[in-house]
């Protein structure tokens, strides 16, 4: 019997960077994201003699996947599984493959083993795999906050159908993983306490801006949250520099487009890719402008996507 699910990565407009002390992968800061429809992780689960995890066709020993399975098995009957996960985008290059990966994985195990978990409980398990994965359980605009740290949807893709233009500035894997980078920032950056103390206010403001669909307000705030996070990364020791020259050139290009009146802003995660968020009517012009920046390999245009979902559940040969 095979069970297939699909999930999309998300990009945070208010960033999560840093973990609370203790177990459970609890973020130190609340975050708010948009789920992306153009990027997809598809995960197939079948019964097996022993656990096997394949990513993009290759067997991989992934500690976080092993821990995710162990977490689920602590509370639910989950037999040994063969898990095949595929991304239609570069893995671990700052396009949030772990977010869609764990959202698709937990959703697949839930459906395959008839666990009947609520979306909130799936979000909880996904977060323990990767913090941002909690948000990919849901579509549209999604919040992740305490005290329970299960994500919650704020608005559907149809409510505010923004576009996201992704400029691929490098296709190779990132040098320092998010988990490692967060540890380093918490341990060494003099700005870390200020980051943790100030993010709640940004998050609350972003919730209102999304509710009122205030694009200009969200543009200013999201760039602030992104640059504040990168300031924190840069002030870690040794400094975490996730940008390359193309990333910086894309930031300037987006600012130039905005000052020319185009409704667009940027955000960047723990990698060199830049994501430009814009109103639908600006997407074509933004994509053309970013494709023209020196060093941009490729430009992808995405809409706002749905949450993790079951694609198929069928009896068959393993
Ligand atoms: C910069 O969710 O990848 O993308 O919980 O350690 O797996 P772990 O971290 P992860 O970190 C995401 C960091 C970010 C910002 C964000 O998505 O909020």
- Give this prediction's pTM: 0.96
Q: From ligand 1's centre to the CA of 47, what distance in Å?
A: 30
Sheet holding 41-47, edge to edge: 58-59, 52-55, 81-87, 41-47, 2-7, 309-314
Mean pLDDT of the chain: 95
258 alpha carbon to ligand 1 midpoint, in Å?
27
Backbone angles phi, psi at 29, to 5 degrees: -135, 145
- Look at ligand 1, atom 6, and give the residue with the nearest C-alpha: 179
Q: What are phi and psi of 87, to 5 degrees?
A: -110, 145
CATH node for 1-318? 3.30.230.10
List residues near ligand 1 (CB under 6 A): 12, 15-17, 25, 31, 98, 130-132, 178-179, 182, 269-270
Angle, helix 192-211 to helix 215-234, in steps of 10 degrees: 160
Rounded to the nearest whole angstrom, what is the distance from the C-alpha of residue 302 to the centroid of ligand 1?
20
Give pLDDT, residue 318.
45
Provide the pLDDT for residue 93.
55
Q: Quote the ligand 1 centre to 260 CA distance (angstroms).
A: 32
Q: To the nearest whole percent, how much of the chain has pLDDT over 90?
A: 92
At what angle are helices 63-75 and 97-112 packed, to 10 degrees?
30
For 173-225, the pLDDT digits (tens) are: 667 999 999 999 999 999 999 999 999 999 999 999 999 999 999 999 999 99
pLDDT value at residue 91: 60
């Amino acid at each position: 019997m095979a069970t297939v699910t699909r999930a999309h990565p998300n990009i945070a407009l208010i960033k999560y960077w840093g973990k609370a002390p203790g177990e459970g992968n609890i973020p130190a800061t609340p975050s708010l994201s948009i789920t992306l429809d153009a990027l997809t992780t598809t995960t197939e689960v079948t019964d097996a003699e022993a656990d096997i995890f394949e990513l993009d066709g290759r067997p991989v020993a992934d500690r976080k996947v092993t821990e995710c399975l162990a977490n689920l098995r602590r509370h639910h009957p989950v037999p040994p599984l063969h898990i095949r996960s595929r991304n239609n985008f570069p893995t671990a290059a700052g396009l949030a493959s772990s977010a869609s990966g764990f959202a698709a994985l937990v959703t697949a195990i839930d459906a395959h083993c008839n666990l009947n978990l609520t979306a909130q409980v799936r979000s909880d398990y996904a977060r323990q795999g990767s913090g941002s994965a909690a948000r990919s359980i849901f579509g549209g605009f999604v919040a992740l906050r305490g005290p329970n740290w299960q994500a919650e949807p704020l608005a559907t893709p149809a409510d505010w159908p923004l576009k996201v233009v992704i400029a691929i500035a490098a296709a190779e894997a990132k040098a320092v993983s998010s988990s490692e980078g967060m540890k380093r920032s918490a341990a060494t950056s003099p700005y870390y306490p200020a980051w943790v103390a100030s993010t709640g206010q940004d998050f609350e403001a972003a919730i209102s801006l999304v509710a009122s669909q205030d694009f200009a307000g969200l543009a200013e705030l999201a760039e602030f949250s992104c640059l504040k996070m990168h300031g924190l990364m840069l002030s870690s020791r040794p400094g975490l520099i996730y940008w390359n020259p193309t990333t910086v050139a894309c930031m300037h290009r987006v600012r130039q487009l905005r000052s020319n009146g185009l409704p667009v802003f940027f955000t960047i995660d723990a990698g060199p890719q830049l994501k430009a968020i814009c109103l639908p009517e600006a997407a074509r012009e933004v994509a053309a402008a970013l494709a023209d920046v020196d060093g941009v390999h490729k430009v992808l245009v995405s809409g706002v996507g749905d949450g993790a979902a079951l694609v198929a559940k069928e009896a068959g040969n393993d």
